[in-house]
Structure 1
Amino acid sequence: MESNAKSSHLDPDLSRRLHHALTCGKEELFEALLDTSMDVLRAALRNPALDDNHLLALLGRRDLTEELLKTIAGLDAVAGNHRLTVALVHNPGTPATIALPLLPHLYLFELVTITEFPGTTPDQRLAAERAIIQRLPTTPLGTRITLARRATAPVLDALMKEGDARVVEPCLANPRLKEASVFQLVSSSRTLSESIAAVARHQRWANRPNVKKALLRNTNTPCSVFKSLISGAQLMDLRNLIASGRLTGDRKSLIQEELRHRGF
């Protein structure tokens, strides 16, 4: 009796939509997946005609509830399906408990796309960045160069630490790059002269005071760059350089010559 009472009070329109979502054919099912009711969408997930294309269309929606996304994630059709895995992870409503374990199954630039999405949560972005960084040692050079143009700050920092001038140059042009990453690169005694030169000739970074000081202190800075820097350096910085004991005799001589040229 109670069950019959509930059925009698069910909205006739909703009842019709639920039945349609559960029983309609392939083409009509796409239309059913546009319904605003999560109950209707849940019914559509039980439709025998449901296939990968329907699920991809559904996962493209940004208004799905967490519960519905959990239901989708549990479907047999999703397990091991790369396209559906990507769509599930890319949906900003997918809870972290589902999305994060799936990240290792994504390709590199699918992970990059996650870091670019405005709706990506901080946890998802951080996990995607970590997954990208873990893959860098085995990533081909051409892919790392392309990555350098799109990467977020943490990934750029990891790329800069590798010190390869061919990768450093596109990193320097990426607006997400932080000065701290550049400073660390030009301060390291392991950084090769080619990478240091790339920083020294880059319009965005070459005139940063902290970067210029680090370039002057690094013994791997090319001599031509060093000469150019000391000609524009402040007197106190030149005196501190001589007193630091980090320079070779030749470079100390260049500074002393510059000081004499200035009358000191």
Structure 2
Amino acid sequence: MQTGETSFWRNLYDEFLIGGELRVRRLGFGAMHLSPEDGDVVRRAVDLGVTLIDTAYLYGWGANEELLARTLWPYREELLVTTKVGVAQPGQLDGRPEVLRTQVDAALTRLRMERLDLLQLHRVDPEVPLADQVGTLKDLRDQGKIGHIGLSEVTVEQLVQARGIVEVASVQNRYNLLDPAHEAVLAACEAAGIAFLPWRPILDLVNAPKMKTFEAEFGATRAQIGLAWLLARSPVILPIPGTSKIAHLEENVAAGAIRLTEAQRERLA
């Protein structure tokens, strides 16, 4: 890390223990938008103190995972790179046990890892019993290929069912200031101490004219306001904004220093 660039990481407000043991800074980085030539962006994210990077097989059908390994391996001890499985091709979910096993093995190879410390089911395949999908990931965890298991785009009922089979360390659902549809899932995660990784945390805000009035009032960009609101919304929220531009990355990371007042949070609400 470069001296003077991480002073905004002030205290434990900025940190979370995923699964009770994976310590990360709460403001992470989503690698989805990176092209094979964007290694400098993710390298800069790590230099700025980001310790949670989210990728998936879906992002370039493995190319995104290969980019992270090519750029960041050997990984810093404090860095957590999490990936997702369960999508076979565009628009097609595939949660069959044999497919999940194959995708996990392939992710280990591409990421140059012996174990995926956090592996998330990208989507629940409605054609395969949830118990079979989660049970397969549990088996892979017991084999030592996975450390902790997460889910994505799940309901409270699915989360409860999954937790009856295996410990769930994280949930990745769409959620932001203008789209809080998964409040019930967030509440369930908060009650259980499960990390909640909102995807698309700021894109809706950047394109929302109504947010413009807050920029001058708060002295921050719409994206920064949205990220600060998420960090203040719940201690289990770990935003993972993504970008392919270093300037936008630095803007997003700087949001970690913003502490909204109660009055400001009420104004946004």
TM-score with structure 1 setting the length: 0.28
Scaled by the length of structure 2, the TM-score of the pair is 0.28
Which of the pair has more CA radius of gyration? 1
